[in-house]
Amino acid sequence: MVTFDDLAGGFVNGGVGVDYDGVVVDNGVAFAERFKGQTLSYNGNFDVLSGNPTGPLTLVAGAPNQNLNIFTEISSNVLAPDGPVGYPNDDGIGEGAVSFLFSTDQSQFGFQLVGGNGGDATVSFYANDGSLLQSITLTNLSSAAYGFETDGGLKDVRGVSITNVDPYGIALDNLKYDVPSDIGAGPPTGANGGVPEPASWALMLLGFGGLGATLRSARRRGALMA
């Protein structure tokens, strides 16, 4: 499982944590803004990704201060995608795109979404050759766990991209997946299932593994702390 707790984050820089301008690797999984071949544009303060990646999947970091950052949410680090307004502006943290790449094909995975406030997010799943397998829109976002499984358990998902139009942006934590991934130094640990068994890429709105379904967020944004 990827928790980001082994990476620099915390409450530094006024609570917005640490900016990462390159590809982030944690527990065998790599993270950045988008994949090579995708086109980046903007919808107000939010990133928009269009077009399919080129294969094999290759991550591309965003512009400086517009890629990713890690900060502490209550007692755990979370990963937030930075939008066009940019880090360390509150209106730029969580409004960006995030893509993650595995070294192996997956059939199950899930994540804890942190900071959802009724907006929407689009989750797009790609094969290693860049072909789009499916795109799912999550509506009425909340701080909850989301799990996915391919039809018949077919292992063909190598990468995922997520964009959002949530009022205060989103962050991710506790990424789980079913096939060990070994990008970066050292073997992955704890990278096993625990995802429920939906059918045909069904979206699971309940918790999976030990994640709990409705962990409420107390994000650093004043509007959410009121």
Would you place residue 18 in the very low, low, confident or very high pLDDT band (cuts 50, 70, 90)? very high
Domain boundaries of the chain, sorted by first residue: 18-225
Q: Which of 83, 100, 82, 112 is nearest to 26 (CA)?
A: 100
pLDDT at 106 (0 to 100): 96
Question: b/e per residue, 167-183, with b = 16+ CB within 10 A?
Answer: bbbbbbbbbbbbbbbeb
Give Cβ neighbours of residue 160 (< 8 Å, ≥ 6 apart).
99, 100, 109, 123, 124, 125, 126
The answer to whether the CB of 49 falls within 8 A of the CB of 120 is no
The answer to whether the CB of 61 falls within 8 A of the CB of 33 is yes
C-alpha dist (Å) from residue 186 to 9, 26, 57, 159, 203:
21, 10, 21, 20, 32
Give Cβ neighbours of residue 128 (< 8 Å, ≥ 6 apart).
55, 56, 57, 105, 158, 159
Distance CA 123, CA 6 (A): 25
Give pLDDT tens digits for 37-73: 999 999 999 999 999 999 999 999 999 999 999 999 9
Q: What percent of the chain has pLDDT over 90?
A: 73
User: Which CATH fold topology does 18-225 show?
Assistant: Jelly Rolls (2.60.120)
The answer to whether the CB of 108 falls within 8 A of the CB of 177 is yes
Q: What value does the mean pLDDT take over residues 89-109?
A: 96
Give the Cα-Cα-Cα angle 221, 99, 1 (nearest 5 degrees): 80
The answer to whether the CB of 74 falls within 8 A of the CB of 218 is yes
Give pLDDT tens digits for 130-180: 999 999 999 999 999 999 999 888 999 999 999 999 999 999 999 999 999
The whole-model pTM stands at 0.84
The answer to whether the CB of 109 falls within 8 A of the CB of 157 is yes
pLDDT at 39 (0 to 100): 98
pLDDT at 13 (0 to 100): 87
